[in-house]
Amino acid sequence: MPEPEGTILERGLPVSDGPEGRGLPAGPPHHARPFSARRWADQLLLVVTAACALAAVGVLLSIVAAILLRGLPAVSWQFLTDQIRLVGASGGILYNLVGTLILIAAAAAISAPLAVGVALAHGVYLPGGRARRALNLLLYTLNGVPSILFGILGLIVFVKF
């Protein structure tokens, strides 16, 4: 039996390839309503969430602006490059800056190769087995420990020794 003229394919309408193979016109599912209570609630929640996020960012930016406006006049080249004075509030932070930069460089020199090695072992070299499961357990455990505990451990180790 020949197909009647003006079929869906001849009119250029997209046809769905569903499991039934009926060749129905593609479009929204029959159960989708153009504007329902759920869509309205979703849009309302999106607007409320965006407003809360903007309010939080606004508060944060106002705090940073207040700190910068009050603190920047006290920062000068002399303050950054002068030595610490034993008496009074005068003096600079040169040794504090140098110590911080040395600490950052040492921490990066130790942790970066270790992190790359663990990442390569986890992603490339360890097949799915006991070693991979043990490494996963170690990584998840370390991820769950609050960072303040690592800081206290470092303080104990470096102050004692």
Q: What angle do CA 110, 113, 119 make, to 5 degrees?
A: 130
Q: Pick the more confident residue, 64 or 14.
A: 64
Question: What confidence category does residue 11 fall into, taking pLDDT thresholds of 50, 70 and 90?
Answer: low
What does the pLDDT average to over 68-74?
92
Whether 31 and 21 have beta carbons less than 8 Å apart is answered as: no
Using one digit for the tens of pLDDT, what is the confidence trace for 90-100?
788 899 999 99
pLDDT at residue 125 is higher than 60: yes
The pLDDT score that the predictor gives to residue 70 is 95
Element (DSSP H or E) covering residue 79 = helix 77-81
- H-type helices in the chain, by residue range? 37-71, 77-81, 94-120, 130-144, 147-160
In this structure, what token pair is assigned to residue 158?
């470096």
